[in-house]
Chains A and B, each alone.
Chain A
Amino acid sequence: MDHAATMDHPMDPAQPSPLSPNWGKIMMWLFLMSDAMSFAGLLCAYAAVRMSNPLWPVPSSILGVPLTALNTFILICSSVTMVKAVSAIQKGDVAGLKKFLVFTMLGGTAFLSIQAYEWTHLIREGLTVQKSLFGATFFVLTGFHGCHVFSGVVYLGCILAATFRGRYSAQRWESVEIVGLYWHFVDLIWILVFTFVYLI
């Protein structure tokens, strides 16, 4: 469109400031920060319990690192497709938005499937929430994160449905960016959980 307007406000001509009118983004960030506190609480409880337990098992003797590394890779890839979805709709490319939203949802579903496979395997081998503290911290941490991934896939599905109803355009894409914030946050948390629960 008009070049002068996009030069002055590269993100969106309708927004004088990224902060003041875009309350949706601030609210998502505030929610994500409170969510980060929940995860921080769980991770700190895990650290305290583990450090006070001198014979804590080496996690990799029980958990499978290569499969989870693959899972981490899948989640990072789905973050990239999410970023591509946002930049597609910022250019007005609705077909690209649909395509990349579907890819992102597929990535999340693949992550959940691999995690379900891993949990089934571990439970069959006798690791349960009640069996040991290791099992309790493992299942609570990864399960809480898995719930976030599942909600994220549902949330992305809602945005995809709204895309099919023609909600988004080059002028109107805040909701897509906000679902992206949530999705990247889930990815960020998994990076930390993978390091603290599986590797260390």
Chain B
Amino acid sequence: MEAAEHKEPNYWGVFGALLILTLAEVGVFYMHLPRLVMVLSLVIMALAKAGLVAAYFMHLALEKRTLALIVISPLVLSGVIIIGLTPDSVFNYPRQPPEKWVLPGEEEPKGEPGGEPSAAPAQEQPAPPPAQPPQPAAPADGGPA
């Protein structure tokens, strides 16, 4: 009995921690801190919350270590890929004027600052078919009133 109770984590404690972290996140958001401080603290708190959910709600901390290794190793690999690709994607990415996005092979939009896409004809709906006269609702004959 004691072993079983020891095995079950304190779910209300985890819930309280998640609640406090969420409130702290919203609080930090409204405090108008310097951008770097805000982003760093928000990311750290979000990762802490995600870790709490994975470790206790998903029982990762209570399972065999092997399962944790199976779960964490692909995340580490993807983290390596992200770190490897970040310089290319962030610093060598063609800087676009705001909200004017040109896909490869598409032609430049016709320079209106309003951001109206020039490829609009492709998105335009064809003229709607002539409106049908509204069908009268099928009489529910025989149905119980």
Contacts and interface: CB of A to CB of B under 8 A. Distances in A.
A87 interface: yes
A191 interface: yes
Interface string A155-190: 000000000000000000000010011001101100
A26 B89 contact: no
User: Size class of A's contact patch?
Assistant: 35 or more
B127 interface: no
B58 interface: yes
Contact of B29 (A52, A53, A65): A65
Interface string A1-19: 0010011001100000111
Interface residues of B, number: 51
B70 A30 contact: yes
Given A44-B82, A199-B25, A33 B123 contact: no
Interface in A53-98: 53-56, 60, 65-66, 69, 72-73, 76-77, 79-80, 82-84, 87
B94 to A, nearest CB: 7
A56 B64 contact: no
Given A79-B53, A87-B8, A132-B99, A18 B74 contact: no
Contacts of A7: 3
A65 B98 contact: no
Nearest to B50: A188
Nearest to B73: A33
Given A52-B90, A52-B94, A188 B19 contact: no
Interface of A: 3, 6-7, 10-11, 17-19, 25-26, 29-30, 33, 36-37, 40, 44, 47-48, 51-56, 60, 65-66, 69, 72-73, 76-77, 79-80, 82-84, 87, 130-134, 177, 180-181, 184-185, 187-188, 191-192, 194-196, 199-200
Given A19-B64, A192-B50, 14 more contacts: A11-B7, A33-B75, A36-B74, A44-B82, A52-B90, A55-B99, A66-B26, A69-B22, A76-B19, A79-B53, A130-B117, A132-B99, A184-B53, A196-B46
